[in-house]
Structure 1
Amino acid sequence: MTYVIHGATGAQGAPVVAALAAAGKPVTALTRNPDVAVAGARVVAAGYSSTQALTEAYRGADGVFIHLPITSEEQRQTYVRNIVAAVRAARPARVVFSTSGMPTGTGGTADLLTSGLADSGVSHAVIEPTLYLENLLMPYVMDTVRERGVLPYPIRADLPISWASHLDIADAVAALFDRHDVTGVVSVGQYPAITGADLAQAFGAHFGKNVVFEPITPEQMQTSIAPAIGEGPAADVAGMYAAMNTLPDRSITPENSAQKLLDITPRTTGQWMTDIRCE
């Protein structure tokens, strides 16, 4: 028996591997490179493009952690079909899926996978974060903070958001693997939600300097991230931020929060910066 973690060397999967390994649990790290070493884990080369490989990886697992990569919507739909087919065939004891901040309630791939897991009859939970604090580590943000004392980001200055870190998600995943009684959606993020000015204040306190928040357009962000993730996915991300800026807030609700359901309080922005040793 083992815990199977997708993207085990990436930003989302690696903290989950570390949390489970630290708890002494057996971990299978799914990667695209079978030659990579993952501390505390057995490495298996398997990706979302092969239902057979996924089925073999999931069979006999105590838990499976899933999150969908940033790629085209069409590709994600293929991945979802493969994942659901593999879960149905392999019947792992538990599946935890993180929406990775993708919009829900719109009929997109996050909803498609959530529905597929529900129909599978396999014990599962869905982690629903809003925005990741790690997004603020992108060079166009951090370089501007360091050089100008300005924190640029494509959100309205007055938009309250329940930010979460990948470390918070890992804490929730580890808890949900043990808490089969908790099903459905679990929202992970700071509560009360905070604004851009609050983010800037936390960055300023951490760096010991005055930092102010500066809203930028989603199109400006798209230009900054396209070289790293591709024009198509960057346009999708920009569209998500444009839609987000029309909302009154992006706050979690206390009723289905990790705070209430799992007794886990996500890190403040300052705590997160300390934990990742941001310099």
Structure 2
Amino acid sequence: MTYMIHGATGAQGAPVVAALATAGKSVTALTRNPDAVVDGARVAAAGYSSTEELTKAYRGADGVFVHLPAVSEEDRRIYARNIVAAVREARPARVVFSTSGAPIDPDTGGAAAMLVSGLADIGVSHTVITPTLYLENLLMPHVIDTVRERGVLPYPIRADFPVSWASHLDIADAVLALLDRPDITGVVSVGQYPAITGPDLAEAFGAHFGKNVAFEQITPEQFRTSVAPLIGEGPADDVAGAYAAMGTLPDRSITPENSAQKLLGITPRTTGQWLTDIAL
């Protein structure tokens, strides 16, 4: 069985490649650089901007893992349309799509929602993974450096705002299971349950580093200013807008009914377990 993994050299795809390779699966890493070297996988050049390349990569595949990169929403919509067109033409046996936390309500008109709707219309076997927030966000320099230097964990959520945090490692565990589980369709939520708050995160970081760490709420604009040099102004604006909208919600908790815990028997890592696993 052959599995095609997008973003195989990046933060989200690389753990999926590693999990599949460890399980003895045949893995093809889809990258824009045909000269890339990816442990445990062969490499094929296929970019989201080329429907032709995607169709060629997907044809005959037993499974495809897709996630949309952090670029402008306009580009993400283009990529979503190209992915849907390629899946329609190539008909891979199974598709697993991670929303990376983006909304999938069709009323939003967003790229993730377009992709989910397109896959449903095609009728291929597929599952949509819906994480909330990634623990890896806390590794951005302006966050983790502040933890180390000042004993403060800054993030643009309220202190009393519960979140079902998940790591890229948790997503990889779910993808590994779902690629071989065509009986599971629809949405699978991946994240800690019960959800935890910012002070809970700070406590876990403090226990890991052996120091007192306090949580500090910052504004979406402060966060935008910090991430713009890393991801670009356009994507940073989108991120800040998402956190501003999140501030109007009571929480970002998954529901047990469609959780990985219930559907797959997989329990996501606690924050402390994740910090240990990544050897921070």
Quickly name the TM-score band, shorter chain normalised: over 0.9
Q: How many angstroms apart in 1 are the aligned matches of 2:88 and 2:98?
A: 19
Q: Which residue of 1 aligns with 2:258?
A: 256
Q: Which residue of 2 aligns with 1:56?
A: 56
CA contact (8 A) 2:104 2:116 kept: no
SS of residue in 2 equivalent to 1:113:
helix
- Per-residue deviation, residues 131-177 of structure 1 (Å, max 9, x unmatched): 00000000101111011100000111110000000000000000001
| 1:44 maps onto 2:44 in alignment | yes
TM-score after normalising by structure 2: 0.98
Q: Which residue of 2 aligns with 1:34?
A: 34
Q: CA RMSD in A?
A: 0.6
Q: Which residue of 2 aligns with 1:86?
A: 86
Q: How many angstroms apart in 2 are the aligned matches of 1:111 and 1:80?
A: 9
- Per-residue deviation, residues 172-229 of structure 1 (Å, max 9, x unmatched): 0000011110000000000000000000000000000000000000100111110111
SS of residue in 1 equivalent to 2:252:
coil
SS of residue in 2 equivalent to 1:219:
helix
* Residue 104 of structure 1: how far off its partner (Å): 2.4
Gaps in structure 1 of 5+ consecutive residues: none
Q: How many angstroms apart in 1 are the aligned matches of 2:238 and 2:159?
A: 22
Q: Which of 230, 233, 238 is residue 231 of structure 1 equivalent to?
A: 233
SS of residue in 1 equivalent to 2:275:
helix
Q: How many angstroms apart in 1 are the aligned matches of 2:176 and 2:211?
A: 36
Q: How many angstroms apart in 2 are the aligned matches of 1:61 and 1:157?
A: 45
Q: Which residue of 1 aligns with 2:20?
A: 20
Moved over 6 A (4+): none
Gaps in structure 2 of 5+ consecutive residues: none
Aligned counterparts, 1:1-279, within 5 A:
1-105=1-105, 106-278=108-280
* Residue 121 of structure 1: how far off its partner (Å): 1.1
Q: How many angstroms apart in 2 are the aligned matches of 1:107 and 1:154?
A: 25
SS of residue in 1 equivalent to 2:39:
coil
Q: How many angstroms apart in 2 are the aligned matches of 1:129 and 1:238?
A: 18
SS of residue in 2 equivalent to 1:96:
strand
Q: How many angstroms apart in 2 are the aligned matches of 1:209 and 1:245?
A: 29
Q: How many angstroms apart in 1 are the aligned matches of 2:112 and 2:34?
A: 28
Letter in 2 for 1:258: A
Aligned residues: 278
Q: How many angstroms apart in 2 are the aligned matches of 1:107 and 1:264?
A: 31
* Residue 110 of structure 1: how far off its partner (Å): 1.0
Q: How many angstroms apart in 1 are the aligned matches of 2:83 and 2:35?
A: 24
Q: Percent identity?
A: 82
- Per-residue deviation, residues 234-277 of structure 1 (Å, max 9, x unmatched): 01000000101110000000000000000000000000000000
* Residue 73 of structure 1: how far off its partner (Å): 1.4
Q: How many angstroms apart in 2 are the aligned matches of 1:132 and 1:152?
A: 15
Moved more, 101-110 or 130-139: 101-110
* Residue 107 of structure 1: how far off its partner (Å): 2.8
SS of residue in 1 equivalent to 2:18:
helix
CA contact (8 A) 2:2 2:25 kept: yes
Q: How many angstroms apart in 1 are the aligned matches of 2:2 and 2:237?
A: 37
Q: How many angstroms apart in 1 are the aligned matches of 2:137 and 2:200?
A: 16
SS of residue in 2 equivalent to 1:249:
coil
Letter in 1 for 2:63: G
Letter in 2 for 1:13: G
Moved more, 2-11 or 74-83: 74-83
* Residue 74 of structure 1: how far off its partner (Å): 1.3
